[in-house]
Amino acid sequence: MSETAAALSAGAPAARSAESTVPTAHTTVFSVIAAISVCHLLNDLMQALMPAMYPMLKDSYALSFGQIGLLTFTYQITASLLQPLIGAYTDRKPRPYSLVAGMAFTLVGLLLLAKAGGFGWLLLAASLVGTGSSVFHPESSRVARMAAGGRHGLAQSLFQVGGNLGSAIGPLLAALIILPRGQGSVAWFCLAAMLGMIITANLGRWYRHHGLARLKPKGAAAAHVELPPARVRKAIAVLLALIFSKFFYLASITSYYTFYLIDHFQVSVRSAQLYLFVFTGAVAVGTIIGGPLGDRFGRKRIIWASILGVLPFSLALPHASLLWTGLLTVPIGVILASAFPAIVVYAQELMPGKTGTVAGLFFGFAFGMGGIGAAVLGVLADRTSIGFVYQVCAFLPLIGLLAGLLPDVESGYQQGKAKAA
């Protein structure tokens, strides 16, 4: 039975249109990638609600800043540390419907958040929302790779930009819906979780009937350069250092850019938010183009360019006028964001057969570094100034020089693709 016929009989509408025309395992199934990207949007939208609610929760429950920090810690520890463990488990025992379970964890967490009777319930809600994220990211990244048909960078970029959009929309919806209507209105966002469960159930059917066969297409063994384990570990360590550089610098913008603009240029809060929106738009563009550029020119080159290439702009930013500050954040966002899809796919090629482990490790580490970076930079800003934070962070892209230590896996990959074709 062909992929198309099997998909129709399995009831997988998310994958029908692409599979009806191209049934081979080496073809990109854009309908599946679009569906998992929408699910990523829904997941990250729901994940972004809790931080956006902190001012409301602080007043409603008379929380201290220490308790707010504990909420953040609980959410981040479950969302980041569990991801590589779940990814490693599903590498050994694939679970096509685990994405539904991830959405279900988030749904229960949102219900608890809407009706929490005290701080303990808030902690439980945070842990469930974080667990939902930890289940979702490794397996959704695997689905994107399954549907890539060899265009892994493109698939990873399209998947990740859904998360970027969700992270941007979540606080906006919280401001428009939750803050005016109260904490109970969080329950309305359970509809997003239910929609995600429906979509991921259909994706689970496609995963089970077609996706697993796509993980190891004919000729895949030749698509990777076999490296000694010690060299692989060294390369992964370098990639994690680059993630540290990227997400610490991103934390300086996403968490403190508006404060910097208000303090340094005396702009209004609304104007500062518009400048931040320009930066987040640039990040979305960089996420979209990073993967395809890696497919075309080689991922190691894109990693080099996207981390180290930010340096001239980051060094100039603390000394720029308001106009030039806004302009400089555009190339910073585009160039820096293009790194992550290339890094994830490069690591997956470095460790064939470990798709979930790699996705869990890098998404979890990125999430953790963003949270730690925000906390560390906040303390630094309190003890010095917000301007000093940007002067220090300007040098973080220098860590991109470590990319020169990465082994070359591209040639073997390209040869493997040619043989598979």
167-186 per-position pLDDT tens digit: 778 877 887 888 788 888 99
**Element of type H or E holding 126:** helix 119-146
The pLDDT of residue 224 is 53
Distances (CA, A) of 113 to 54, 64, 118, 130, 189: 12, 18, 10, 13, 11
Chain centre to alpha carbon of residue 278: 19
The pLDDT of residue 417 is 46
The pLDDT tens digits of the residues spanning 299-332 come to 888 888 887 889 999 999 999 999 999 999 999 9
Residue 282 in 3-state DSSP? helix
**Element of type H or E holding 240:** helix 229-265
Round to whole Å and give the CA distance between 92 and 39.
Answer: 24
Which of 333, 322, 319, 321 minimizes the C-alpha distance to 277?
Answer: 333
Round to whole Å and give the CA distance between 166 and 163.
Answer: 5
Express as a percent the part of the chain with pLDDT over 90.
23
The pLDDT of residue 323 is 95
The pLDDT of residue 112 is 93
Q: Is the pLDDT of residue 359 over 50?
A: yes
Q: Domains plus CATH for the chain?
A: 16-217 (1.20.1250.20), 230-420 (1.20.1250.20)
pTM of the model: 0.71
Tokens 């996403």 correspond to 254
Express as a percent the part of the chain with pLDDT over 70.
87
- Of 29-33, 138-142, 169-173, 182-186, which range is least confident? 169-173
Q: Is the pLDDT of residue 255 over 50?
A: yes
- Of 209-223, 236-250, 280-294, 376-390, which range is least confident? 209-223
Q: Is the pLDDT of residue 33 over 60?
A: yes
Q: Is the pLDDT of residue 5 over 80?
A: no
Q: Is the pLDDT of residue 134 over 70?
A: yes
CB 17, CB 33: distance < 8 Å: no
Q: Is the pLDDT of residue 36 over 90?
A: yes
Residue 323 burial by Cβ neighbours in a 10 Å radius (0-12, 13-18, 19+): exposed
**Own/partner pairs for 314-319, CB < 8 Å, 24+ apart?**
314/249, 314/393, 314/394, 314/395, 314/396, 314/397, 315/394, 315/395, 317/390, 317/394, 318/387, 318/390, 318/391, 318/394
Structure-block tokens of residue 366: 């990125």
The pLDDT of residue 1 is 39
Q: Is the pLDDT of residue 240 over 80?
A: yes
Helical residues (DSSP H) of 174-226, grouped into ranges: 179-181, 190-206, 212-215
Round to whole Å and give the CA distance between 291 and 162.
Answer: 14
Q: Is the pLDDT of residue 6 over 50?
A: no
CB 28, CB 150: distance < 8 Å: yes
The pLDDT tens digits of the residues spanning 196-220 come to 999 999 998 898 877 665 655 444 4
The pLDDT tens digits of the residues spanning 404-421 come to 888 887 654 444 444 444
Round to whole Å and give the CA distance between 184 and 116.
Answer: 9
Tokens 């301007």 correspond to 387
The pLDDT tens digits of the residues spanning 47-62 come to 888 877 877 888 888 8
The pLDDT of residue 212 is 64
Kindly write down the DSSP assignment for every residue of 58-74, as one continuous string.
HHHHT--HHHHHHHHHH
Tell me the torsion sign for CA atoms 120, 126, 129, 133. Answer: negative
